[in-house]
Amino acid sequence: MSPATTAATATKKRKSDATVTAAGKKAKLAAVAHAETVESILSDVKNFELPDSPTATRKMILELAQYARSLEEEVDATKPKALSPAELAAAAAKLANAVRSGIRKQLTWKPSAKTGSARWTYDGVCPDPEVFGAMLNLGGPPKFKATKMAADEFQNLIGDLDVSIRYDVLRATSDVNIQWKPDQGTFKFSGSYGK
């Protein structure tokens, strides 16, 4: 690309960013104006003034309805969107890979690994219970706060946890403890590993 083309592309990007910002500012200013109307009504519920003409009253009611709609849209925008089955599977696979990688990094040689009693713990965040449930193949969001799962079953879900060391292999040796905190969107896996 020539320098002129690059400059033109950069200018276009800047212009579109400015347009979006200006529209956002106008929406915020309109919301502030409506919020002031609402505040004046709520401050004096029994004696607030209505406009004199029916047209002005209609305009005020319309503005309040538009303000209510904008608040509903803001709330809807903060809610997590429902994922399609393919998106859910992809998100669950991504989470499982992160969990597997984090656990495998902890499986290092230490004397307690000789007896299979070395401990590992993985803390994670998953704000969408559907994704967490899909990762553990629960068929929906988890209905538990704490449970146990066999190490083999856990590895079938998230992947192989075996880690090669100099003359041996470290692997999970106990059931996996699973803790789920739905209100915080966090989870914790823990267990033992060894030779």
Q: In whole numbers, what is the pLDDT of the chain averaged over residues?
A: 78
Which domain range does residue 37 map to?
3-78
- For residues 85-97, average pLDDT: 87
In this structure, the answer to whether residues 34 and 122 fall within a common structural domain is: no
Both 90 and 72 in a single domain?
Answer: no
Q: Which residue has the higher pLDDT, 18 or 35?
A: 35
Same domain, 49 and 108: no
- How many domains would you assign to the chain? 2
pLDDT at 93 > cutoff 80: yes
Looking at the structure, do residues 182 and 112 belong to the same domain, yes or no?
A: yes
Q: Are residues 94 and 189 in the same domain?
A: yes
CA distance 49 to 43: 12
**pTM score:** 0.56
Judge whether residue 77 has pLDDT over 60: yes
- Is 106's pLDDT higher than 70? yes
SS3 43: helix
Residue 162 pLDDT class (50, 70, 90 cuts)? confident
